[in-house]
Structure 1
Amino acid sequence: MTGIHVRSAEPPDQPDVAVLHHREWGGPHVVVHETRYDLRELPTLVAVDGAGELAGALVYRLADDGLEVVSLVAADAGLGVGSALLAAAEATALAAGAGRLWLVTTNDNLAALRFYQRRGLRIVAVDPGAVDRARRLKPTIPYVGEDDIPLHDELRLERPLTPPGGHP
């Protein structure tokens, strides 16, 4: 994580963030829990490396007593970018008085499940068929995901947040 700085996105960051979102999601739209989000319209944190290059982005929304991570993308995996962004999201959530950090991923995303569980998030719900329903809003969602796993379900992960010196 050396040399990674996380801050709120600024207008000059948008083209580079758009490239990450296109690579990861095929464009600026994601569908999660049967809601279509335009990532350009939500608050974004960016990770910048020591050379000033964009290293990742986390898009979120504050609602329902929590901070939902709508998208987390690192330019390169394994460099601490995702961890830095998630830590900054937690700080943002605490500053806003949110009681939990949460997100949704898909049943095929084993790398994300490892990543989030190692950071204390737990699977709290499974929505069978959610991805099948999401295809009505975004037909480009593939039928087969990572590791040739059929893509059908959403898994919700969350972690209660404890304010410094407080209780969750």
Structure 2
Amino acid sequence: MTAIQIRPAEPSDQPDVAVLHHREWGGPYVVVHDTQYDLRELPTLVAVDDAGELAGALVYRLADDGLEVVSLVAVDPGLGAGNALLTAAEGAALDAGAGRLWLVTTNDNLTALRFYQRRGLRIVAVDVGAVDRARAIKPAIPYVGEDDIPLHDELVLERRLAPTQPGRPAAG
């Protein structure tokens, strides 16, 4: 199995990260909770394999008492990059004193829901019609998503974090 290393993105990573974001989101912009984000302007962690090749990228922001995962994309899902990136994001959240790790996904993204729930995140809110509103900002958002599920709503998932104390592992 390939070893995955996580580190902050460097300027030399930008072309490969841009290709990944174009594949996943159609470019550097995502619209979530009625806000458009330019992924190039936010902190990014990258996963690299033992050959130094990009295996994934996680873009985040620190706000609202937490670390929000704005984008998490693996080059080849299922090889551990996403899990390693999410673990590193939790570490960054704890280092920043954040009380929660959170993110938003869409109602059709059953793969993501399975991935995040297996890692301790829970659905804490549903914003009905959020994706419909997002199309006013980013018209390229499709009307039908994964598994031919109509794409309408955002689901907020979070995991509360507790600082590590001697003899006690971090929440998770």
Question: Which range, TM-score by smaller chain?
Answer: over 0.9
Aligned equivalents of 2:96, 2:125: Cα separation in 1: 25
Aligned to 1:115: 115
What value does the CA root-mean-square deviation take over the aligned residues? 1.2
- TM-score (norm. length: structure 2): 0.95
The alpha carbon displacement at 1:163 in A equals 1.0
Matched to 1:94, the amino acid is: L
The alpha carbon displacement at 1:2 in A equals 4.4
Aligned equivalents of 2:20, 2:144: Cα separation in 1: 21
Aligned equivalents of 1:2, 1:141: Cα separation in 2: 34
Matched to 1:124, the amino acid is: V
Aligned equivalents of 2:2, 2:17: Cα separation in 1: 21
Aligned equivalents of 2:44, 2:98: Cα separation in 1: 17
Aligned equivalents of 1:142, 1:157: Cα separation in 2: 22
The alpha carbon displacement at 1:125 in A equals 0.1
Aligned to 2:10: 10
Aligned to 1:98: 98
Aligned to 1:135: 135
Question: Structure 1: which 5+ residue stretches go unaligned?
Answer: none
Matched to 1:44, the amino acid is: T
The alpha carbon displacement at 1:162 in A equals 1.3
Equivalences for residues 48-63 of structure 1 within 5 A: 48-63=48-63
Equivalences for residues 52-91 of structure 1 within 5 A: 52-91=52-91
Task: Provide Cα deviations, 1:117-154, integer angstroms capped at 9, x if missing partner.
Answer: 00000000000100000000000000000000000000
Matched to 1:143, the amino acid is: Y
* SS of residue matched to 2:27: coil
Aligned equivalents of 2:16, 2:157: Cα separation in 1: 28
Aligned equivalents of 1:149, 1:2: Cα separation in 2: 34
Aligned equivalents of 1:147, 1:101: Cα separation in 2: 27
The alpha carbon displacement at 1:15 in A equals 0.2
* SS of residue matched to 2:105: strand
Task: Provide Cα deviations, 1:40-96, integer angstroms capped at 9, x if missing partner.
Answer: 000000000000000000000000110000000000010011000000000000000
Aligned to 1:159: 159
Q: Does residue 31 of structure 1 match 2:34?
A: no
Aligned to 1:146: 146
Question: Structure 2: which 5+ residue stretches go unaligned?
Answer: none
Aligned equivalents of 2:112, 2:120: Cα separation in 1: 13
Matched to 1:53, the amino acid is: E
Aligned equivalents of 2:146, 2:25: Cα separation in 1: 13
Q: Does residue 44 of structure 1 match 2:65?
A: no
Matched to 2:31, the amino acid is: V
* SS of residue matched to 1:59: strand
